A and B are shown apart, each in its own frame.
Chain A
């Protein structure tokens, strides 16, 4: 039964880092199977590693301050070039993080004259901006939902509600206020237990706007369902959900807010 040799602490660390060869791995797997406490310890280490990456990898996507570029010997004259190189790095980093590539963002999209389509595009950008945030995804958390809704309604100028999405396996993370085309807009964020996120962008519509049916747009890798209903325009965005999943959530929201 307990023929498996006890691995050294260094071997266990290497195992946690996935740096052991297949034979060693098999031996350690066997030993851990007999030592659940140790297996749990190693599993915790792996979770921390993953957590650390979640915490700090977003730094890779931040724009590098000019003072650092200059300290790296980048003269002002070729700063634009270095910036472009920086963008490439950032693009790769974000590409890894969110699954889309930044250079696509930089290609100017055809000008959308339709105000609802403009809303969809803004919603997609807001989603891309805030949904990868680990530490500050929202301004006001779901623990203060009542305050959040009152505040956003007041600022947006329409009665705004945060729909319940438990049925879709999603819980409210919180929300924030954003600048819109013609005034403040609200963004609510939801996520699944696995961390897949959606954001609901809500803006007040001018009087006399007609309701619209669901429409779908794709901005880079962010899918958006958008519609106008009564006094508000809505855009539901996600880079994580497939189109049909997103549509189910959009339908759920539409029914609740009707």
Chain B
């Protein structure tokens, strides 16, 4: 199978990650589209035999960072998102719905690490290479992301977050 075919094969995974990263379907697919176009144009830079998935997720990460930056420059970001409603989470469905909101409130760079580890099941090494950050940073962001989620799910808000080194 050549790279172009493997690229196509990876689309569903790019879409899953993008959906979790940006939330709504249309924006997520726009991100995937930009990523694919960029990847297609830069495919000659990909070194054969290396991890194509990691390479592609790196492309997506860079496209995403640029898009976020562009969006910040052009429009006012919402000041503060409303606090999560406090309610007892009972049962799976509730947990999942709350998680959806909580994950969207994580800082971008923490969310990326958590998603690559849980959804993509990437090794910490691969996450470090994909996001082009040191592995120590991967571990600390992972830890912070999870702790922040837990705080939000407990309905405490991120302010009383226990500091995790």
Chain A interface residues toward B at CB < 8 A: 9-10, 12-14, 16-17, 19, 41, 44-45, 47-49, 51-57, 59-62, 64-65, 67-69, 71-74, 82, 85-86, 89-90, 93, 134-135, 173, 193, 195
Whether A47 pairs with B117 at a CB distance below 8 angstroms is: no
Whether A71 pairs with B19 at a CB distance below 8 angstroms is: no
CB contact between A73 and one of B7, B29, B165 (< 8 Å): that residue = B7
Q: Determine whether B70 belongs to the interface, using a CB cutoff of 8 Å to chain A.
A: no
Interface size on B, residues (CB 8 A): 46
Whether A85 pairs with B139 at a CB distance below 8 angstroms is: no
Q: Determine whether B40 belongs to the interface, using a CB cutoff of 8 Å to chain A.
A: yes
Whether A69 pairs with B8 at a CB distance below 8 angstroms is: yes
A72 to B43, CA, bound (A): 11
Q: Which residue of A lies closest to B20 (CB)?
A: A56
A203 to B91, CA, bound (A): 31
Provide the residues of chain B in CB contact with A19, threshold 8 Å: 123-124
Provide the residues of chain A in CB contact with B76, threshold 8 Å: none
Provide the residues of chain A in CB contact with B140, threshold 8 Å: 9
Provide the residues of chain A in CB contact with B5, threshold 8 Å: 85
Whether B16 pairs with A59 at a CB distance below 8 angstroms is: yes
Whether A56 pairs with B4 at a CB distance below 8 angstroms is: no
Provide the residues of chain A in CB contact with B97, threshold 8 Å: 135
Provide the residues of chain B in CB contact with A53, threshold 8 Å: 118-119
Provide the residues of chain B in CB contact with A85, threshold 8 Å: 5, 8-9
Whether B119 pairs with A48 at a CB distance below 8 angstroms is: no
CB contact between A71 and one of B40, B147, B153 (< 8 Å): that residue = B40
Whether A54 pairs with B16 at a CB distance below 8 angstroms is: no
Q: Which residue of A lies closest to B38 (CB)?
A: A71
Can you list 10 A-B pairs with a CB-CB distance of less than 8 A? A45-B146, A51-B99, A52-B20, A52-B99, A56-B119, A72-B7, A72-B39, A86-B12, A90-B12, A193-B91
